Amino acid sequence: MVENPYLPKLAKIEAIKEETVDTRTFKIKILDEKVRNSFNFTPGQFVELTVFGYGEAPFSITSSPYEHENFSITVRRMGNVTRGLFRLKEGDIIGVRGPFGRGWPIEKIKGNDILIVGGGIGLAPLKPLIEYIILQRRLFNNVILFYGAKTPKDIIYKELFDIWKQYINVELTVDFAEKDWGGHSGPVTVLFKNFKLESNNIYSVQCGPPIMMHFVTRQLLSMRMEPEKIYFSLERNMKCGMGFCGKCMTGGRYVCREGPVFNYSEVKNFLETPV
Amino acid sequence: MPIFLDRIMKYYQLIGPVKTEKGVSFEYVSECDKVDLDYLGHTVLPPKKFFFPPIEEMFAYEYDETGNLRIYDFLEEVSKGMRVIVGVKPCDISSLLVLDKVFTGEYNDPYYTTRRNNTLVVGLTCNKPKEYCFCTYVGSGPSIKKGFDLLLSDLGDMYLVEVGSEKGWKLTKFNLDIFNEAENEDIKERERILLEVEEEIRKKGLPNFATIDKVLVERFLDRIWDDYSRKCLACGKCNFTCPTCRCFTISDEPNPDLKSGKRFRIWDSCHFLSFTKVASGEVFRKDRPSRFKQRIYHKFVYSINEIGSISCVGCGRCIEVCPAKINILDVLKEVIVGGKSVSAKVS
Amino acid sequence: MNKIRIGIFSLSSCEGCIVQILNLEDILLNLLKKFEIESRILGTQNRTESYDIAFVEGSVMSIDEEMELKKIRRMSKFLVALGECACHGGNFLVRDFNVGEILERFPGSETWYSNPIDRYVRIEYYIPGCPIDKEEFFTVFKSLLLEKFPEQISNTVCSECILKENNCLIDKGIACLGSITRGGCKAICPTFNRECYGCRGLSDDANVEGLLQTFKEKNIEPPTHLTLITRREGRKT
């Protein structure tokens, strides 16, 4: 019989880590050894995760591509599937399909400067890219990370920033600062004040709420960054992950199969402009 | 013909156009004299429902005695038994060819392809178009060159049968006593009838759809869409009756024990507000015009990139069932003849 | 095993929705082993302190009912509006009456009201319909036990009607509201040649003006209660 790509592969929750009040990172291990060994992904790709009885939803993979036994996803409690996921404990069984989609253009950006812009939980799909860059640091030039969150409490991967800072430039901002917050405040675009485009050999990758990606893209375009070097990851209702269900279609493209990572020169001619 | 169908039923599950109190619809046939091969035009729902059902159970999950989660794939049920579907008009055969391309490629949709492989298609050329038929304009009727195992043509006192595949050939081989070799005159008679049908549809004087995609791309921001979407009731009937529409959503339903359950896929319509909704509540096609356009642009623009052709087969079902009687041909005609002023400029 | 406490309450209504629940008898008997169900109309007067899920049927027609409802809200984790009366105030039930005439003949009845329960309290979920669809009720019930909120059905009655391959009633000149009404009823009325009168409320982004235009073009008299339905447009189902 034909292999059924709709069937989730069983997996176990290995560990759960609290990131913020409503966000957790789940470390997941696929049970079947063969399936586990053939599970390779590019940073930026996503999985369809099943919480049995609750349904299935797409989540970006957030672990390093060099981690083989497990992979991780970071989840904010939003809909039914995430609500179901938050009820689970370590050792509980879930289902996984994928990885799906097209990830970040790693080969293209090698040897260049890279500006990474993340907003809120949008840092999740960028994390594996950052970790890839750090592990292959000499393959990349200047790397800058701009990250914005709503409040200091909403910052995810808090403990990682100090490690990352040893390898790349990191700038943080929050929309609503509290007293003991010494850093920037305002939307992530405030971080662009001191940022200058020094060469043409720079790529930007971003993921965040649609409104953030809209303004960051406008900002980069106004700084004359080439449209084909501005990459972002789109969030859509990706039900099947394979371009069948039609729900993620945007401007005639299947975000699940042809994306979720696109560059601006690809999407600017979409009839439905996504950013 | 009843003898032939009767023999088919001995070895296959038979599906065909069956008279009901509401009209004619494709159903599983229990008595072959209920099959109505004289049905006019098309059924309300296309035969698509036998390859891609409105609600489909995909798999069940449950915990076994040892406490391990098991998944039971309903695909195994789907792959059991062979079926023959008779009386499929060329427009509907064309739509299956469209769906074939959609559901295969980088990934294969096993629920659809298994049913396709399980089912022989016995087509039926069209002898009389219905009011809204326009198959000749999109090259999908009144006859067809491929996509069938057998193709019947009603010549009045007999059927001309064209063999389209090895499987179809086998169907006739076991029934040689009721088949005679066709004569040239019969083939000519079929051509004559088909020409008549073509002529009748041509009288409708529709524009050429050859470059419709380019015209549509230019008119994406036209006022036409606002006007039509004020009329459109967004009820989704056009999607569900369309033989090439195939969007769906997936959902889980737990059993009463809450530990086991099933996953379904259900037809969905791009006209519904919830179609593009993501978990955060964000909806990507909020306004009615954008949803009204999605069906038309998917069929006539995006589809060309996706499968190499438009995905409208000219059956006219969407026109017939629309409660507001929006005629897609009027829409396209209006687009082609220049539409109205452009309400906004492309940035 | 901890029992899950379910409350079923009835305000002003015909109690037809509760009958629908009782129609689930086979399943209910099994479930009763797991759940404690309390309902005033079912006879038990001994109130428990709290409910995991409370279903409220009927609309609010008096201050007493308003107080009662607020009390139920305080005691419940999830509150579900059950049926047209609870969801929308049962306005459509007066569809056969001429409201103007009532006011004329009974002056002072302006103070009469029949309000949906979400005018007074927060609601976790709506199960619309007159009466409710028992299968939908059961699906919602199971989901809530998992703390899952099933998507509020967003399709139209029309889209369910076409699956039954029915012929369109509007084409026959009948004022059917299926195109603007939230689905979930499996188009039971049109399937039996009865027009949809909108008991499940408006669908998401229902195009009422468009339907009125269609009625006009076809010389169909719109049903009088349509104005009652549209008046509450903009409100949640």
**Which segments of chain A does DSSP mark as H helices, in order?**
33-37, 80-86, 106-109, 127-135, 158-165, 210-222, 255-258, 264-267
Mean pLDDT within A149-155: 92
Percentage above 70 pLDDT, chain C? 81
Q: Is pLDDT above 50 for B341? A: no
Per-domain boundaries in chain A: 9-99, 106-267
- DSSP states along B44-77: SS-GGGGTS-SEEEEEEEEE-TTS-EEEEETHHH
pLDDT of residue B317: 94
Query: In degrees rounded to 5, what are phi and psi of residue B235?
Result: -85, -20
pLDDT of residue C160: 95
Q: Is pLDDT above 80 for B338? A: no
Nearest by CB to residue C167, choosing from B22, B231, B234, is B22
Shortest Cα distance from C187 to chain B (angstroms)?
Answer: 13
Mean pLDDT within B46-70: 93
Residues in C closer than 8 angstroms to A84, CB to CB, are 146-148
Is A84 in Cβ contact with C148 (below 8 Å)? yes
pLDDT of residue A16: 96
Confidence of residue A180 (pLDDT cuts 50, 70, 90): confident
Flag whether residue A53 sits within 8 Å of chain C, measured between CB atoms: yes
More confident site: A196 or C46:
A196
For domain A9-99, the CATH architecture is Beta Barrel (2.40)
Percentage above 90 pLDDT, chain C? 38
pLDDT of residue B45: 95
Range list for CATH 3.40.50.700 in chain C: 4-145
Burial class of residue B347 in the structure, from the number of CB atoms within 10 Å of its CB (0-12 exposed, 13-18 middle, 19+ buried): exposed
C5: left (phi over 0), alpha (psi -120 to 50) or beta: beta
Q: Is pLDDT above 50 for B345? A: no
Per-domain boundaries in chain B: 2-202, 212-336
Is B323 in Cβ contact with C170 (below 8 Å)? yes
What is the 8-class DSSP label of residue C146? Answer: T
Residue range C4-145 in CATH 3.40.640.10: no
pLDDT of residue C237: 35
Determine the topology of domain A106-267 in CATH: Rossmann fold (3.40.50)
Per-residue pLDDT tens over the stretch A114-140: 999 999 999 999 999 999 999 999 999
**Cβ–Cβ under 8 Å, residues A252 and B298:** yes
Per-residue pLDDT tens over the stretch A80-110: 999 999 999 999 999 999 899 999 999 999 9
More confident site: C107 or A105:
A105
Per-residue pLDDT tens over the stretch C201-220: 899 889 999 999 999 999 99
Q: Is pLDDT above 70 for B210? A: yes
Per-residue pLDDT tens over the stretch C139-193: 898 888 888 888 788 899 999 999 999 999 999 999 999 999 999 999 999 999 9
pLDDT of residue A156: 93
Q: Is pLDDT above 50 for B171? A: yes
Confidence of residue C46 (pLDDT cuts 50, 70, 90): low
Residues in C closer than 8 angstroms to A88, CB to CB, are none
Flag whether residue A54 sits within 8 Å of chain C, measured between CB atoms: yes
Q: What is the complex's ipTM, to 2 decimals?
A: 0.90
Per-residue pLDDT tens over the stretch B250-294: 999 998 888 899 999 999 999 999 999 988 888 899 999 999 999
Question: Touching C: which chains, 3+ CB pairs < 8 A?
Answer: A, B
